[in-house]
A and B are shown apart, each in its own frame.
Chain A
Amino acid sequence: MDEFIQQFATGLSTGSLYAIIALGLVLIYRSTGVVNFAQGEMAMFMTFIAWSIWNWNENFWFAFFAVVIISFVFGALIEMIAIRPVETGPVLNPIIVTIGLVLVIDSLALRIWQGQPKPFPSPSAIFGVNLFKGSPLSIGPADISRTNVGVFFMALLIMFLIYLFFNHTRVGLAMRGTAQNRVAGSLVGIRVGRMLALGWGLSAMVGAIAGMLLAPTLFLSPTMMAGALLFAFAAAVLGGLDSPVGAIVGGLTMGVVQNMAGTYIGSNIDITVAFLVIIAILLVRPRGLFGRKAIQRV
């Protein structure tokens, strides 16, 4: 039983990693309807920028907040330059552009910072409190590393902020309107282009935060996000692509199932079992656990 609880806890901490990446994917899907394959690459690139800033000024939070602002501008610019021209075309085109972005950003990062992994600092304490450092947190018989505890709470915080933003601000309402129906949105006076740029900016920001928090565990390299991103995709789809709560629940489920399958069935088949479970859930709920059903007008 103790082993079960420990494995469950380990699963949760891996899952919180998937959850925080999935949040960025959900944010962009919810505000623009695009599945962003470049989410991981954008996050990685921003984390490298944070690393460069940190090398110049060794204050974690200075680099952190500088990059939060830079990533917002970066995301909005990408939307304006690369995505907007293809927005009116066939539905697949924005997705293809994000695949193009993956290639460009990947080789740029490789060119600037080279391939070997770099150590990335853990967040330092604010006002003497540090969620991310210290001895592992013990819950009953299980130990969870403090970094993962920090990541988990950060994911919850971001989820809560996204909820507040979308459901309790005028801009959030306008963004939901844009995502649902662009023509109707622009008819009631929403600046559709701005909303889309904002959506990209915000999701790049969430991505960058995820990248900076995960870099101490994953080690900073151009391929840092590649593995986790696929699981984050699965997590986002499992939770429902338009639901921030779903991203968290999906991420944690993904982590726990993968870990359980690895322990009790065999690590040689864990990913397969995890994906089988996810597909089984999707067959029962084709829009994910928390996704809203699409109602189609004829």
Chain B
Amino acid sequence: MVSAIVRPRTLFLAAALALLIVFPYLYKLPFFDLFLNNIRTFQATRFAIWLVVLLGLNLLTGYSGQISLGHAAFVTVGAYLGAIFMKDVGVPVFAAILAAALLTGLLGFLIGIPALRLSGPYLAIATLALIIVLPQVLKFDGVINGHHLAFMDIAERTGGVSGIQLAIPDKPHVPAIIANNFDMSRDQWLYYNCMAAAVIMTGIAWSITRSRMGRAFVALRDSEIGAQQMGVNVSLYKMSAFGLSSLYAGAGGALYFYEAAYVGPTSFDITLSLTLLVMIVLGGLASITGTIFAALIMTFKNEMTDYIVKYLPFGENIGIEQSRGALFGLLLILSIIFTPRGIAGNLHKQKEARPGGPRKNRLGALVARIGLTSREKEAEASSD
């Protein structure tokens, strides 16, 4: 035996992977059928897609400290590129998604060049412009002052207002070779594709954050001048952060199109951009675990709030649709107040020197304690 000792984390990852593999079939077993069904498979697929999108935003905002409100724009671009590659060019799905991701990444890298000059709220609003402008660009038919410019006719490629829809025979389906040998539905097939992509992308993000590049991101987030003094090429890494985050957004968008078989000019809007930002803060900035939590919240937030409304004493009187926003907003504010570093930030207990002494955070401290291992608890008890 090379190594008899398996680290707990390796075991945990192996178990998680095994769970992901059997998940779409679990609902057929007794006990699990009590709370799982086919809709959960669909939700898990969406979770995988949002995870990819959110990982990109967290790399940019969490790790390299650049606030972007234009992430939804890159998701849209990825979805459209994926659609064009799948439908018009007709390449295999895998190649289409990869090409869409790479091209969106390249676009993000290039948009990163003007973004170099802007920071903070100025950058946030400039990136917000991307998502405000995009629907108009996608619908642009190349007519300027009555003259039709064929080379600028974007709507011809994007389908204008109606967007791009896959016809029934083109819709992603289970390949014959698998369908003949396994019992697999379309939902399950989509789940495996998207989840595989999500697992790979998570692994890549994880290794990036622990590489030279990831450390450079964190360095330029914490102090741009300091990073420069350490020999970090600030411009290059800022652009790379933009490029990488767009690559993730593009991949997520293409996966979304693959799953939904439709994309239109208003499929993704400003609300999505803001929601994505909210989610990574709720989950935990600069944390892969946090991003997984973020994707979970993103997937289940409506169901969660609807569930709470149903059990509120006066819940019957308020329409579920109407109170969804209010309740989610309220929960959002409360969780930012009580867990300012997101779920993950409270799981990894941070003992950094802060001006003004340790952070007073009642609920956060409680949650953090639950996350401690028994050995850490002993150490904490003995130090008191």
A264 to B144, CA, bound (A): 9
CA distance A298 to B101 in the complex (A): 38
Interface size on A, residues (CB 8 A): 49
CB of B328 to closest CB in A, whole Å: 6
Residues 73-123 of A contacting B (Cβ, < 8 Å): 82, 85-86, 88-90, 92-93, 96-97, 99-104, 106-108, 110-111
Q: Is B30 an interface residue (CB 8 A)?
A: no
Choose one: A264, A266, A272; the contact of B137 (CB below 8 Å). A272
Residues of A within 8 A of B (CB): 29, 35, 37, 82, 85-86, 88-90, 92-93, 96-97, 99-104, 106-108, 110-111, 183, 230, 233-234, 237, 241, 264-266, 268-272, 275-276, 278-279, 282-283, 286-288, 296, 298
Chain B residues within 8 Å of A106, by CB = 325
Contact of A92 with B329 in the complex, beta carbons under 8 Å: no
B121-157 toward A: CB 8 Å interface, digit per residue (1/0)? 1101110110011001101110111000000000000
Instruction: Beyond the given A101-B333, A286-B122, please list 4 additional residue pairs across the A-B interface where CB-CB is below 8 A.
Output: A35-B121, A89-B359, A99-B278, A266-B145
B126→A282 contact, CB < 8 A:
yes
Q: Is the CB of A269 within 8 A of B225?
A: no
Decide: A104 near B330, CB < 8 A? Known: A271-B133, A282-B126: yes
Q: Nearest Cβ distance between residue A4 and chain B, in whole angstroms? A: 15
| Number of interface residues, chain B, beta carbon within 8 A | 50
B121 — which chain A residues lie within 8 A by C-beta? 29, 35, 237, 241
Contact B333 A82 (CB under 8 A): yes
Closest A residue, CB atoms, query B324: A107
Neighbouring B residues of A110 by C-beta, 8 Å: 322, 325
Inter-chain contacts of A93 with B (CB < 8 A): 281, 336, 340
Residue in B67, B114, B145, B318 whose beta carbon sits within 8 Å of that of A92 in the complex: B67
B325 in contact with A269 (CB, 8 Å): no
Q: A86-B340, A100-B330, A104-B326 are in contact. Are A268 and B132 (CB under 8 A)?
A: no
Dominant secondary structure at the B interface: helix
Provide the bound-state CA to CA distance between A279 and B281, in Å: 27
Question: Are A111 and B318 touching (Cβ within 8 A)?
Answer: yes
Interface SS, A side: helix
In Å, the complex CA distance between A82 and B332 comes to 11
Residues of chain A contacted by B285 (CB below 8 angstroms):
90, 92
State whether B129 touches A92 (Cβ < 8 A): no
Q: Which of B126, B325, B336, B355 contacts A279 (CB 8 A)?
A: B126
Cα–Cα distance between A106 and B332 once the two chains are bound (Å): 14
